[in-house]
Amino acid sequence: MGDQLLQKIDPKELLKSLLQRAKKGTYSLAFELIPVDGYEQVIEVKEKKVGLHAIIAIHNTALGPALGGTRIFPYASREKALEDVLRLSKGMTYKSAVAEVGSGGGKSVIIADPKKDKTPELLMAFGEAVDAFNGLYICAEDVGCSTEDVKWIREKTKYVVGLLQEKSSGDPGYFTSWGIFRGIQSAAKKLFGTDSLEGKKVAVQGLGNVGSKLIDSLFWAGADLILSDIDSALVNRLAAKYDAKIVHPSEILKVECDILSPCAMGAILNERSIPELRCKAVAGGANNQLLKDGDADLLRARKILYAPDFVINAGGLLNVAAEIEVEGYSPKNPQRKAHRIYDTLLSIYEIAEKNHESTHAAAVALADYRIKYGIGKREVAPVFHHAV
């Protein structure tokens, strides 16, 4: 059974329908509109009893319903949370457009400490909030929100992907890290004329879900690894396993290497850090690596090849999006698409070179073109097989 293909909706109409739908739920959800230029919908959600304070941002639905993970993080302020969700949801629009998955850009943040505040009640209240959007927004796991947590969200809504169960796609980290690995190979191809990573020095910042899987592939491809994580027990364990060099988190961006792979937090490429980089390419999975779009020009001026984050880290999106296809989930299709991230990146490097622009600008232009002309637009309504 498929849902309807959704039409763009006026924010005031959406708020009215959110409030109506929320009345039927278990929790006392309060919704508030946050008008933001260039974004279709930005909604703040609170539920006092369970301590839920979240923001759901829908940047663009021209190609399909907004799809993007739920980040749980103890933001210092509501403004910081808003800034993050706006940047992340816009990134999802670009990521979806380039990956041609028939979804739009959305993201949600819950202002909470995942180590202390994450309760089943809080997650279920959030699930009820997502459900009120009636399919306009589809959530998934993200930093601070595991596939286990997603199970609680699922208790209250079917509009969630990446569940660890039959008919679902499971942990997106495997596909994300494989796409990044292919992106690193594309950088090697561009820099050295071969995609072999034998003996190449690759520095990885962040060894969580994505980074830990990535270094496994890099190890087997013969790369010399340089590792960093704020979790010293983790980095010690993985460095011993892969005979890798350890670098302190304050030094990783300055380390001499062939390819730097940021797989932790965003905004690490900026006016301050770029002059200090000692790599030939940056190719990693973290979202929103550039503090500002213009920082891509600083990389270009330093002749550092940059694999645009929203292109190289699309493997997880390809995997979760496969779950809502009519025929049901199979890993083969997203595997093939994640593998082709290599070719997409090589084309982007080419276009950027031809147009004398940054690779980031070339990738944004490609996404904008697809959005403008509806290339890759969803033709068939998504099917939530785990709910059928």
Active-site residues, by number, are 107
CB atoms within 10 A of CB 265: 15
Q: Say how far apart CA 25 and CA 2 lie, in whole Å.
A: 23
**How many amino acids of this chain bind ligand NAD (CB under 6 A)?**
26
Q: Is 313 exposed, middle or buried (0-12, 13-18, 19+ CB in 10 A)?
A: buried
Pick the binder of ligand NAD from 195, 249, 325, 331 (CB under 6 A): 249
- Residue 67's DSSP bridge partners are 105, 138
Say how far apart CA 273 and CA 239 lie, in whole Å: 25
What tokens does 123 get? 């997650």
Strand partners of residue 296: none
Query: Footprint of ligand NAD on residues 118-157 (CB under 6 A)?
Result: 143
Q: Which is nearer to ligand NAD, 207 or 255 (CB)?
A: 207
Query: x/- binding map, residues 85-104, to ligand NAD, per CB under 6 A?
Result: --------------------
Residue 33 structure tokens: 């509109």
Which range, of 50-58, 124-132, 186-194, 280-288, touches ligand NAD by CB under 6 A? Answer: 280-288
Which of 40, 84, 229, 323 touches ligand NAD by CB under 6 A? Answer: 229
**Does residue 205 interact with ligand NAD by CB under 6 A?**
yes
Pick one of 65, 68, 91, 173: the residue that binds ligand NAD (CB under 6 A): 173
* Nearest-angstrom CA–CA distance, 361 and 355: 10
Binding status of residue 311 toward ligand NAD by CB under 6 A: no
Q: Is 105 near ligand NAD (CB under 6 A)?
A: no
Closer to ligand NAD by CB, 157 or 209: give it: 209
By CB under 6 A, name the one of 210, 227, 283, 312 that touches ligand NAD. Answer: 210
Q: Is 68 in the site for ligand NAD (CB under 6 A)?
A: no
3-class DSSP state of 279 = coil
Q: Does 239 engage in binding with ligand NAD (CB under 6 A)? A: no
Closest distance between ligand NAD and the C-beta of residue 324, in Å? 17
176 near ligand NAD, rule: CB under 6 A: yes
For the CB of residue 67, give the shortest distance to ligand NAD in the complex, in Å.
12
Pair type for strands 30-33 and 41-47: antiparallel
Q: How far is the CB of 178 from ligand NAD (least distance, A)?
A: 10
Long-range contacts of 150-156 (CB under 8 A, 24+ apart): 150/70, 152/120, 152/123, 152/124, 152/127, 153/70, 153/123, 153/124, 153/126, 153/127, 154/127, 154/386, 155/120, 155/124, 155/127, 156/25, 156/26, 156/124, 156/125, 156/127, 156/128, 156/130, 156/131
Measured between alpha carbons, how far is residue 195 from residues 181, 183, 225, 353 in Å?
11, 10, 16, 19
In the set 102, 127, 316, 376, which binds ligand NAD (CB under 6 A)?
316
Per DSSP, helices labelled H in the chain are 11-23, 78-99, 120-132, 147-154, 173-192, 209-220, 232-242, 295-301, 309-312, 315-322, 332-339, 341-355, 359-373
Asked if 283 is part of the footprint of ligand NAD (rule: CB under 6 A), the reply reads no
User: Closest Cα partner for 209 from 144, 115, 258?
Assistant: 144
367 SS3 class:
helix
Q: Does 169 bind ligand NAD (CB under 6 A)?
A: no
Restricting to residues 33-62, which ones interact with ligand NAD according to CB under 6 A?
A: none
Residue from 98, 286, 307, 324 binding ligand NAD (CB under 6 A)? 286
Q: Which stretch binds ligand NAD (CB under 6 A): 117-125, 182-190, 208-216, 327-335?
A: 208-216
Choose which of 56, 187, 260, 264 interacts with ligand NAD (CB under 6 A): 264
Closest distance of CB 182 from ligand NAD, Å: 14
Q: Decide whether 105 or 285 has the Cβ nearer to ligand NAD.
A: 285
Candidates 65, 135, 285, 308; binder of ligand NAD (CB under 6 A) is: 285
Give residue number: closest CB to ligand NAD. Answer: 208
Q: Whose Cβ is closer to ligand NAD: residue 6's or residue 161's?
A: 161
Helix, strand or coil, per DSSP, at residue 204: strand
> The tokens of 235 are what?
């980095």
What residues line the site for ligand NAD (CB under 6 A)?
143, 172-173, 176, 205-211, 228-231, 234, 249, 263-266, 285-287, 313, 316
